[in-house]
Chain A
Amino acid sequence: MRAVFAIAGAELKIALRNFWVALAVGLTALFAAVLTFAGSGPTGTLGVDLLTVAVASLTTLTVYLAPLIALLLAFDAIAGEADRGTLALMLSYPVSRFAILAGKLSAHLSVLAFALAIGFSLAGIMAWGIDGKAGGVSETSLYALLRLWWTAVLLGAAFLGLGYAISSLARQPGVAAGLAIGLWLVFVVLYDLGMLGALVVDNGGFFTRQVFPWMLVGNPADAFRVVNMPTGEAVALASGVGGASKAVSHVVALAALVTWSFGALGLSWAAFRRIES
């Protein structure tokens, strides 16, 4: 346990000094602010509070941003150590590999959770500031924002796990970086594009009814989207894949997201355990 804290402390220092923390916080805060501000237009016509609108657009943003930040933090975690020769050194110390990975994970997850918390708080405060009297923030929308945060942390954990696995398998920072970009593109962009294309071609047929729901939970980013789907009157706000994702319930999607997080972390553990240096 002492080893986990020691490693996490060092990793936090590194993340701070490499400006990863600044970058993560800056990105989420900037986008959260812009999206909340942009949402202040259509609220009146839809009859929902500003924060609800903001949460819907923040969900879409987070699908892109949380995996990106997680992969940025994770891709170098093992490959970088192998490259510097410190991996062999660490592995020759009386520390378990589990502690090494757990230390890195706790530092990276903290950075991610912190950055998202700052960004989302900013969105909440702005919604309240802009539209305070008109009920810009309701209790429901606050809960939605909170749920957005902790599920985003879960989504980040899934991609941290995938990132560590890549980092262990690649063993070279350059290769790991390339694989991380590829992974992000596949999970966050191409997967959805493919799914949308198939939905259009299928036009409500077998794919839409039988395959599509499974595909939604087959990708942590989509599971995250479904979990944070607004219920009731605000469904209209959800766009793209979101609109069709009523096919899977919140509970199933949440289970899928949790499974993905733990599964990916398990995968990273399996990959790291096998490393010989």
Chain B
Amino acid sequence: MSLEITNVTRRYGEVTAVSDISLSMAPGERVALLGHNGAGKTTLMKMILGLTHLDEGSISVFGATPGSHAARSASSYLPENVAFHRSLTGREQLLLLARLRGVGRRPADELLERVGLHRAADRRIATYSKGMRQRLGLAQALLGKPRVAVLDEPTSGLDPISRGDFYNLVNELSSNGTAVLLSSHALTELEARTDRIAILLEGRLVANAPLAMLRSQARLPIRLRVAARPEKSDEVADRLGAVRTSGRSIEISCLQDEKLGHLGRIAALESLIEDVEVAPPSLEDLYRYYSGGGSI
């Protein structure tokens, strides 16, 4: 295992930031850590990196204790809201970090190109936009082929295209065997881009499974949205035994195994409808379900 977290608890005074969490990651696995503000994501990550101590439990980073030289050599970290020194240029900052990691100049220059900073590389960081600073942060997290990459809200501040580019980098990392643990508040972007989703709720791990499994476990309703032809919406609603939600749109909620039956009945009304849309439960719905403690 690249990362093994066993029954870890961390308290800050009265607050239990992380409560009895166990989680393990195989090489190359991509795990998304979700949770409300203050759920304990950052705290868990800091414990993995040895930046703060654990009150109970144990963590092993590629076989080493967090904070040990071996663990730090094997892991990389992107802190949330990292702002580098304003007086240095992007290249100087990355080169400094590359030296600290024992990596040469060349990989640093290549990474600047990879994250699209090559043109701004020799400007002071003071002149960077938030997204550019975030890219610099990403670049340093990729230095020296880490075994475990811990990325705290890596896509915050990135535009949609850059987010796509970022997940390509994550894929590349993971195909080289790096286990990637990342936290995020942007749920939609995680679909199809992570192998597993772990949801924290007030410090507890309430879900930890691949997205498809979370979907089937939650048994959340699928929504069918039917757009009726003009003047036909009441008739359509009547014949489907459903309610009109707004204007000409009619919505039906059903479980996975009832879906096809409903679709058949809708298809039979072809002359009365314009379109039908199938909306599986979104990650948002799932997140709400699991972070609501099991009820919708």
Mark A residues whose CB is within 8 Å of B. Answer: 2-3, 6-7, 9-10, 13-14, 17-18, 84-86, 88-95, 276-277
Smallest Cβ distance from A37 to chain B, in angstroms? 35
Given contacts A92-B77, A93-B101, contact A277 B51 (CB under 8 A): yes
By a CB distance below 8 angstroms, the chain A residues around B96 are: 6-7, 9-10
Tell me if A94 and B51 are in contact (CB < 8 A). no
Please name 15 pairs of A and B residues whose Cβ atoms are closer than 8 Å in the assembled complex, sorted by A.
A6-B100, A9-B96, A14-B88, A17-B87, A18-B87, A84-B85, A85-B80, A85-B83, A89-B77, A92-B49, A92-B50, A93-B72, A95-B100, A276-B53, A277-B52
Docked Cα-Cα span, A91 to B84, in Å, equals 14
Tell me if B82 and A276 are in contact (CB < 8 A). no
By a CB distance below 8 angstroms, the chain A residues around B58 are: none
Tell me if B85 and A14 are in contact (CB < 8 A). yes
Tell me if A10 and B46 are in contact (CB < 8 A). no
By a CB distance below 8 angstroms, the chain A residues around B99 are: 2-3, 6
| Complex partner residue of B88 from A10, A91, A93, A276, CB under 8 angstroms | A10
- B73 sits at the interface (CB 8 A): yes
By a CB distance below 8 angstroms, the chain A residues around B84 are: 84, 86
- B92 sits at the interface (CB 8 A): yes
The 6 A-B residue pairs with the shortest CB-CB distance in the complex, in nearest-first order: A6-B99, A92-B77, A85-B82, A17-B87, A94-B73, A94-B72
By a CB distance below 8 angstroms, the chain B residues around A86 are: 82-85
By a CB distance below 8 angstroms, the chain B residues around A6 are: 96, 99-100
Given contacts A3-B100, A10-B88, A90-B100, contact A84 B46 (CB under 8 A): no
- B81 sits at the interface (CB 8 A): yes
By a CB distance below 8 angstroms, the chain A residues around B69 are: 94
By a CB distance below 8 angstroms, the chain B residues around A91 are: 49-51
| Complex partner residue of B82 from A3, A10, A89, CB under 8 angstroms | A89
Smallest Cβ distance from B130 to chain A, in angstroms? 13
Mark B residues whose CB is within 8 Å of A. Answer: 46, 49-53, 69, 72-73, 75-77, 79-85, 87-88, 92-93, 96-97, 99-102, 140
Docked Cα-Cα span, A276 to B53, in Å, equals 8
By a CB distance below 8 angstroms, the chain B residues around A84 are: 82-85
Tell me if A88 and B51 are in contact (CB < 8 A). yes
Name which residue of chain A comes closest to B52, CB basis: A276
By a CB distance below 8 angstroms, the chain A residues around B52 are: 276-277
By a CB distance below 8 angstroms, the chain A residues around B83 are: 84-86
Docked Cα-Cα span, A93 to B141, in Å, equals 10
Given contacts A6-B100, A94-B102, A276-B51, contact A88 B92 (CB under 8 A): no
A-B contact sample (10 more), CB < 8 A, given A84-B83, A88-B51:
A6-B96, A17-B87, A18-B87, A85-B80, A86-B84, A88-B46, A89-B140, A91-B51, A94-B69, A277-B46
Docked Cα-Cα span, A18 to B83, in Å, equals 17
Smallest Cβ distance from A20 to chain B, in angstroms? 10
Docked Cα-Cα span, A85 to B99, in Å, equals 19
Tell me if B72 and A92 are in contact (CB < 8 A). yes
